[in-house]
Chain A
Amino acid sequence: MKKPTVFSVCVLSIFLYLFLEGCTEPEDLVAPTHFTRVPKVQNLQGTIGVTPTGKRQLLITWEYDTMSTNLRSWDITRNINDTTIANFVPLEIIRKPARGYPFFSDTSATFQSAFMATDSLDVYYRVIPNGITNNFVGQPSDVLHMIIRRN
C-alpha cells in the first residue's frame, strides 16, 4: 500500500507546484513620463493694445520651467469665433528665447476695426510646446479667450 501513497504525494506535489508556478505575475505600469517630458505652458495671458503705428495688437505671453532643457519651441494656434479644438490654425513657431519669457504679437488685419465685419470678435489661442528629444510635442496649453470690439 506504500506505492499509491508515494504516488499520491508525488501527484500532490506536482499539483501544488503547478498551482504556484502556473500563476502569472501581473505586469506593472511604467512611470508616466509624458506629463513632464516637455515643460508645460504656464500662466498664459493676453493683452490688447496698439502698436506705435496705430495697429491693434494682441500680445500673448506665457511662462515655462526654465530649468528643463528639453524645449525647442512653441506652436501658436488660433481660432476665431470657434472653440473646436480641431479647427485651431497654426500661426507661428516661437523659438525658445535665450533669456526671459517668450511672447507672441498678433497684428492681423482681421482684428483692425476697418476690416471687422461684426461688432466684436472672439479670438482663441492655444500654445503647444515642442521638445528636443524625439521631437516630442508636449501638452497643449489651456485655451486663451480674448474679445475684440470694433472702435
Chain B
Amino acid sequence: MRVRLRSSLFLTLILVLLTTRTAPAQTFASFQRDTTVRLTDSTAHRGFLGTPWSERRVVSTVLSVLIPGSGQTYLGHSEKGAAFTLGTIACALMAGLSENNIIGRNERITELKAQYQIATNYIGADTLWSKMVSTKDLLDQNVKRRDLFLKLTVAFWVANVVDIVFFSDDKGEKPFGLRETGRGTSLAIVPDPKNGVNAVLTVRF
C-alpha cells in the first residue's frame, strides 16, 4: 500500500512538473481572451519562463499549489475555489483523524503486547489476545480509511492544479465582494494607494 501511494505521488509530482512546463503553450488561447489582465498587468509582455503567462496566472498557480482552490478564487472563480479548498481540507482532515486513530491504536497494541508477554495464565492471555485482535481490526480499518482519504486529498490537489493551469480563465482583477452583480448586499475590501484599504458596503436593488 505504501509503495503504491509513493509511486502515485511521484507520478503526481511528474505530472505537475510537466503541466507547469507545457501549460503556457496550451493556455495561449485563453490568454488572448484575458484582456483585463493583458491591459493591466505590465508583466504580461515579459511572460513566465519565456511564455506569455501573466503574473496573475503565475501567482494563481503558485497559490493553488500551496492552498488548493486559492488560485481559482484569486482569478475570480469563487465557487470553484471554495469547492477545491473545502474538498481538500475535508479529505486531509479525515486522513489526519484516521492517522491520529492509527497512532492511538498502535500504542494500545504495544501496551497489550507487553501485557500479553508477561501474562501468567491462559485465561488472562486469551483475553488480552482477543483485545489485540479486535484492536488490530480497527487499526486496519483506520489504515484503509487514511489511505483512501490521502488519495482523495492528492486527487483534489492534482485536479486543482490541472484546473488552474488549463481550465481557469482570469476574470480580471476586481475587489472582493464587487464581483457579483445580482441583487443583494455585499461588503468589499478595496485597496487604496493613499489610505491603505477601504471597506465598501454595496446594496443593489
A residues whose Cβ falls under 8 Å from a Cβ of B: 1-2, 4-5, 7-9, 11-13, 16, 19-20, 22-27, 29-30, 32, 34, 37-38, 134-140
Contacts and interface: CB of A to CB of B under 8 A. Distances in A.
A22 B123 CA distance: 38
Interface of B: 2, 5-6, 9-10, 12-13, 16-17, 20, 43, 46-49, 53, 55, 58-59, 61-62, 65-66, 99, 102-103, 105-106, 109-110, 113, 116-123, 125-126, 129, 132-133, 136, 139-140, 143, 146, 150, 154
A29 B132 contact: yes
B107 to A, nearest CB: 9
B99 A23 contact: yes
B109 A8 contact: no
Contact of B109 (A29, A137, A139): A29
A134 B9 CA distance: 50
Contacts of B12: 16
The winner among A26, A134, A137, A140 for most chain B CB atoms within 10 A is: A26
22 contacts: A1-B53, A1-B55, A4-B59, A8-B66, A11-B66, A16-B10, A16-B13, A19-B9, A19-B154, A23-B146, A25-B2, A26-B105, A26-B140, A26-B143, A27-B109, A27-B139, A29-B132, A29-B133, A30-B116, A38-B122, A136-B121, A140-B123
Contacts of B105: 26-27
Nearest to B64: A8
B103 A23 contact: no
Given A4-B58, A20-B2, 10 more contacts: A5-B58, A13-B13, A20-B6, A26-B105, A27-B113, A34-B122, A34-B125, A34-B126, A38-B122, A140-B123
A5 B10 CA distance: 18
Contacts of A140: 122-123
Contact of B65 (A8, A30, A38, A135): A8
Given A20-B6, A34-B122, A34-B129, A9 B17 contact: yes
Nearest to B92: A19
A20 to B, nearest CB: 6
A135 B124 CA distance: 14
A115 to B, nearest CB: 34
A7 B113 CA distance: 45
Contacts of A8: 61-62, 65-66
